[in-house]
């Protein structure tokens, strides 16, 4: 049977990771290696200034006092008995749409797997956050994982999947820019000193019909193939005429 690694950025106690692992057990032997606490929006950080510790949580489930990328690295090099056929990161408690993936620990867990050449997907639940909603997202992840295991992914590619609840279908999508207004809220502590808390609201624009943000607003599961080779994201031709000397 296939060996599958599941990780996340919401931590090993999050409901989403267990719903995902249970669904993927239909495809093989599932190992969970996840942070021991929430690590949302930590991006692709790795721990270099202190030791990392691994603790067994239960059979085939381990928690690490590090980031999602740390978890994948340790899983591949220390914990798993063999290289997995698939890595699935999630189910995230909230969307990872558009350019938010650059901040997302969920996406970075999947990207770390892809860096090692392992087919990987990131799964996020856009709304709902009930048992039924997580089960729905897990079913979408199972569908995607089955296809990935049978058909494979292009090199250096991650499937970024966002599932609304209820979802009415699926669509292949592209990333959209995702910016925020009033990103920081100014507050004062009990001593009257100012501090800032990240808040903000999404600035909505005229997105293409195939953008992930557009698709989830129609209650469709968004499936975005993301190539992480950043030099391939844009066409270099316009810049070939620039003087470089």
**Secondary structure (DSSP) of 131-199:** HHHHHHHHHHHHHHHHHHHHH---TTEEEEEEE-SS---EEE-B----EEES-EEEEE-TTS-EEEEE-
In the chain (245 residues long), the average pLDDT of successive 10-residue segments reads: 95 98 98 97 95 97 98 98 97 95 96 96 97 97 96 91 96 86 87 90 83 94 86 56 62
pLDDT at 196: 92
pTM of the predicted model as reported, rounded to 2 decimal places: 0.91
Residue from 232, 230, 226 nearest 122 by CA: 226
Topology of the domain covering 2-175+208-231: Stationary-phase Survival Protein Sure Homolog; Chain: A, (3.40.1210)
At 42, give phi and psi (nearest 5°).
Answer: -90, -5
CB-side neighbour CA atoms (13 Å) of 109: 38
DSSP helix/strand/coil, 114? helix
Cβ count near 55 (within 10 Å): 11
């Amino acid at each position: 049977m296939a060996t599958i690694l599941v990780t996340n950025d919401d931590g090993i106690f999050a409901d989403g990771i267990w719903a995902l692992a249970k669904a993927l057990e239909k495809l093989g032997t599932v190992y969970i290696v996840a942070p021991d606490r929430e690590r949302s929006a930590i991006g692709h950080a790795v721990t270099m200034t202190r030791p990392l510790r691994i603790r067994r949580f239960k059979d085939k489930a381990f928690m690490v006092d590090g980031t999602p990328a740390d978890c994948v690295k340790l899983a591949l090099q220390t914990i798993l008995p063999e290289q997995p056929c698939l890595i699935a990161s999630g189910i995230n408690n909230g969307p990872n749409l558009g350019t938010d993936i650059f901040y997302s620990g969920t996406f970075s867990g999947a990207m770390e797997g892809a860096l090692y050449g392992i087919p990987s997907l990131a799964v996020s639940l856009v709304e709902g956050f009930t048992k039924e909603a997580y089960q729905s997202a897990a079913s979408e992840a199972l569908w995607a994982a089955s296809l990935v295991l049978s058909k494979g992914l292009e090199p250096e590619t991650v499937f970024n999947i966002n599932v609304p609840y209820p979802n009415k279908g699926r669509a292949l999508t592209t990333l959209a820019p995702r910016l925020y207004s009033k990103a920081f809220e100014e507050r004062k502590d009990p001593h009257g000193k100012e501090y800032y808390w990240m808040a903000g609201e999404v600035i909505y624009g005229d997105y293409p019909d195939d953008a992930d943000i557009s698709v989830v607003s129609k209650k469709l599961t968004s499936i975005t193939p993301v190539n992480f080779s950043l030099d391939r994201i844009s066409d270099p031709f316009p810049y070939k005429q620039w003087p470089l000397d």
